Amino acid sequence: MTFWKDKTFLVTGGAGFLGSHLIEQMKEKGVVPENIRVTRSKTTDLRIWEHCVDAVQDIDVVIHLAAKVGGIGYNRENPATLFYDNAMMGIQLMEAARLEGVEKFVQVGTVCAYPKYTPVPFKEEDLWNGYPEETNAPYGVAKKMLLVQAQAYRQQYGFNAIYLLPVNLYGPRDNFDPESSHVIPALIRKFIDAKQSKSDTVEVWGTGSASREFLYVDDAARGIVLATELYNKPDPVNLGSGMEIPIKDLVALIGELTGFDGEIVWDITKPDGQPRRCLDVSRAREEFGFEAEMGFREGLKRTIEWYLETTRGS
């Protein structure tokens, strides 16, 4: 517990989906609120060098969560923005942290950094064996550059930067905006909207043949907490649940849990994205004792309940 009580922390993106859950768990570890600095994009633009310098002043540990993200549609429409914003934020923040003498830098990357055709389950050593899936490659490559930076800074400067690779997250407080949401919140919103409008069809992108792995947000936050405290090596580490579900089965499950009994219409003119996603999670377990705890069905139920209670006032 002394690791947490004796330090000051910068959590970029700390007001967001993952960040809000992470900060709750940091407080449970004994971090007092005044020792957590949270950047907000409206007042701290990490694409601007001076903002990065100011953000890391008198900070012991940086946990960099802030990212410009979205689903397949958003990725297709904004590849340049996703590349530039994510690369600039991370590169500048890590350099500012090094110059400030920050003790540790925790870079949270993305499963989108993996090659399009990666053998399942994805092992960390496969990260450089090909180019990422086209629709999210600019985002994935920008985030993967920060792994190179972290390893180079460790080698040249002895800078303690670690790199985590979380799989797709879901849970309460997720982004349900249809323009930029990921697959689970997008589907939940579609099914609930259809049910409330008494529509008898829901349209879903792709063929349903792709598969995905999902990690409940509280599990992800706990994994980051464990790595921040216990992991100090250059090798990247997957954070996942080790489960895989075809999109077709995911759609059917969310339809069941939301009480939608109409027809699902597949728009096969839209992309499926990466064919499969499922991580080898053994390194996280061996290095800092992380294993996912939330069952997928229960996690989905909690996410749906939160959306109904909070967003719709039901």
Q: Whole domain around residue 110: which residue ranges?
A: 2-170+214-242+276-294
Whether residue 255 is contained in a domain is answered as no
Query: In this structure, is residue 182 part of a structural domain?
Result: no
Residue 70 has what pLDDT? 79
Does some domain include residue 179?
Answer: no
- Which residues carry out catalysis? 139
Neighbour-count burial of 126, counting CB atoms closer than 10 A to its CB (0-12 exposed, 13-18 middle, 19+ buried)? middle
**Rg of the chain taking only CA atoms, in angstroms:** 19
> Residue 88 has what pLDDT?
98
- Distance between CA 144 and CA 146 in Å, rounded? 5
Torsion (CA) 199, 272, 297, 118 in degrees, nearest 10: 180
In the block, residue with structure tokens 């972290």: 150
> ω into residue 121 within 30 of 0, thus cis?
yes
The answer to whether the predicted template modeling score (pTM) of the entire model surpasses 0.85 is yes
Per-residue pLDDT of the chain (314 residues; tens, 9 = 90+): 689 998 999 999 999 999 999 999 999 999 999 999 999 888 999 999 999 999 999 999 999 999 998 777 888 999 999 999 999 999 999 999 999 999 999 999 999 999 999 999 999 999 999 999 998 999 999 999 999 999 999 999 999 999 999 999 999 999 999 888 889 999 999 999 999 999 999 999 999 999 999 999 999 999 999 999 999 999 999 999 999 999 999 999 999 999 999 999 999 999 888 888 999 999 999 999 999 999 999 999 999 999 999 876 54
Structural domain includes residue 201: no
Q: pLDDT value at position 298? A: 98
- Within a domain: 18: yes
Domain membership of residue 63 (yes or no) is yes
Residue 266 lies in a domain: no
pLDDT at 314: 46
Domain membership of residue 230 (yes or no) is: yes
State the total domains in the chain: 1
Question: What per-residue confidence (pLDDT) applies to 178?
Answer: 85
CATH of the domain at 29: 3.40.50.720
